[in-house]
Amino acid sequence: MKDSSKHLHIVSFDIPFPANYGGAIDVYYRVRYLHSYGIKVHLHCYEYKRNHLHSQELEDICYSVDYYDRHDSVVKMISRLPYIAKTRHSKRLVENLLNDDYPVFIEGLHCCMLLCDKRLNNRNMYVRMHNIEHEYYYRLSQVEKNWLKRVYLKLEVPRLKRFEQVLHKATGVFAITAKDKEYFDEKGYNNVVLLPSSLQYEDINSIEGQGSYALFHGQLSVAENYNAVAYLVENVFSKTAIQLKVAGLNPPTHLARLIENYDNVELIANPSHDQMQHLIQNAHVNVLVTHQSTGLKLKLLNSLFNGRFCLVNSSMVEGTNLGDLCVVADSADDLKRNLEELFEKSFTTKDINDRVTLLMQQYDNRLICNTLVENIYHK
């Protein structure tokens, strides 16, 4: 039942619209569903490489929207605090929060400097954890090719691990996967609740039949993704005639050069939202591999809600039961063999119904919104 008297501050690490990458998708669709539920959302956004993206779309679904500079000076690297948190601390934000006593929902460890402010000690403040951040940064550091970025990532790991203790000051913690919830429970944080990611999908939109290509999609500027593409191209698609399309934002030059060497691999840089969804829906196989088992891979959910077959490695589905809807293979030989077998099959009504049964139990946005509201307002 909608309750128009409820207000909620949401503090976001980035401007969540357009919702064109994992974290932004989770934040934006959470705000949309809270709005539809009748919650009056006061959205606070740190500007990070998207400061030109102030949007009427956010104004339409929020009671108020405020933007804050992210002070990402290199000087702030000289600190015991993690850079991602130290650069997201605003006196004006705290002053805005002190104007009322509404609960505060903090998106990520990035914005948790708020928990250190004594003026907010008696406030109901909840944290949405998108990852176990120090584990996530450690794994990123293992695959990053740029030595300067690799140094930065390695410096952040111990800082994030220490800073995570600030979660003891939170009223509650919302974990994105069952695996993450188990970790946060073991740490003894208050009121840890599983809150699956908010998504843009209401129904399964997969189509029956066969496609003519495989697809890898993701934010290609991220080492996790461009390394996965390189692995697939060099170890799987170099040994088969099956066409691979690689689609995503901001592909690095070295990835484009690699792909140019293979006739059966095509790079689609910076596709529009509609173009990306068309690619996902019409691919015969969405191939998604990762060496990062932290958090939840929203690109996998996108593929399961909208695409045909999903071929993944075990790290992509670790800590979830989504492997039941995928073909899971870990070696290059097994990936190639399963890929070729899938191209001999047709995607069927049964495959779609299996997804409806599993996905709509866990990722129904209305149920997710209810979980959040019940835990914040104790309804």
Segment 114-140 mean pLDDT: 94
Q: Are residues 266 and 296 in the same domain?
A: yes
Query: What average pLDDT does the chain have?
Result: 91
Q: Is the pLDDT of residue 362 over 90?
A: no
Both 106 and 252 in a single domain? no
For residue 116, give the DSSP letter.
G
Q: What's the CA gap between 347 and 325, in Å, rounded?
A: 12
Please give the pLDDT value at position 1: 40
Q: Which of 346, 343, 290 is nearest to 320 (CA)?
A: 290
Q: Tell me: do 160 and 87 sit in the same domain.
A: yes
Q: Are 346 and 325 in a shared domain?
A: yes
Tens-place pLDDT, residues 241-276:
999 999 998 999 999 999 999 999 999 999 988 999
Could you read off the pLDDT of 260-316 as tens digits, one per residue? 999 999 999 999 889 999 999 999 999 999 887 665 678 899 999 999 999 999 989
Domains in the chain: how many in total? 2
| Domain, as residue range, for 231 | 214-361
In a domain, 194, yes or no: yes
Is 42 within a domain? yes
pLDDT tens-digit map of 18-58: 887 778 889 999 999 999 989 999 999 998 766 567 888 99
- Tell me which residue of 105, 96, 88 sits closest to 65, measured CA to CA: 96
Compute CA distances 374 → 1, 93, 193, whole Å: 11, 26, 11
- Please say whether the beta carbons of 163 and 169 come within 8 A: no
Q: Same structural domain for residues 282 and 169?
A: no
Is 2 within the bounds of a domain?
no
Q: Are 184 and 230 contained in the same domain?
A: no
Which of 12-16, 122-126, 356-360, 369-373 shows the lowest per-residue confidence on average (mean pLDDT)?
A: 356-360
Mean pLDDT, residues 329-336: 97
DSSP alpha helix (H) spans, 164-286: 178-186, 223-235, 253-259, 273-282
Selection from 283, 288, 315 nearest residue 300 by Cα: 288
* pLDDT classification of 12: cutoffs 50, 70, 90: very high
CATH of residue 288: 3.40.50.2000
Task: Please name the amino acid found at residue 335.
Answer: L
Beta strands in the chain (DSSP E): 7-12, 40-47, 64-69, 104-107, 125-129, 172-175, 192-194, 214-217, 244-248, 265-269, 285-288, 309-312, 327-328
Shared domain check, 237 and 124: no
Whether residue 177 sits in one domain with residue 218: no
Asked if 112 and 166 count as a contact pair (C-beta separation under 8 A), the reply is yes
Within 10 A of 260 (CB to CB), how many other CB atoms are there?
10
Tokens 């691990």 correspond to what residue? 161
User: Do 218 and 340 reside in the same domain of the chain?
Assistant: yes
User: Could you tell me the CA-to-CA distances from 147 to 126, 144, 281 in Å, in that order?
Assistant: 36, 7, 37
Distance CA 197, CA 62 (A): 19
Instruction: Output the six-digit token pair for 15.
Output: 């401007």
pLDDT at position 363 over 50: yes
Q: How many helices (H) and strands (E) does the chain have?
A: 15, 13
Token code pair at residue 311: 């071929």
- Is-cis flag, bond preceding 16, omega within 30? no
Is 246 inside a domain boundary?
yes
Q: For residues 5 and 299, what is the distance between their CA atoms, to the nearest angstrom? A: 35
pTM (global) more than 0.85: no
The pLDDT value recorded for residue 123 is 96
Q: What are phi and psi of 246, to 5 degrees?
A: -115, 115
165-192 tens-digit pLDDT = 999 999 999 999 888 999 999 999 999 9
- Beta-bridge partners for 260: none
233 and 373 together in one domain? no
Position 3 confidence tier, pLDDT thresholds 50, 70, 90: very low
Question: Residue 311's beta-bridge partner residues?
Answer: 287, 327
Cβ contacts of 268 within 8 Å, gap of 6 or more: 245, 246, 247, 248, 275, 279
Considering the domain architecture, whether residues 238 and 116 belong to the same structural domain is answered as no
Domain annotation covers residue 193: yes
Pair (240, 192) in one structural domain: no
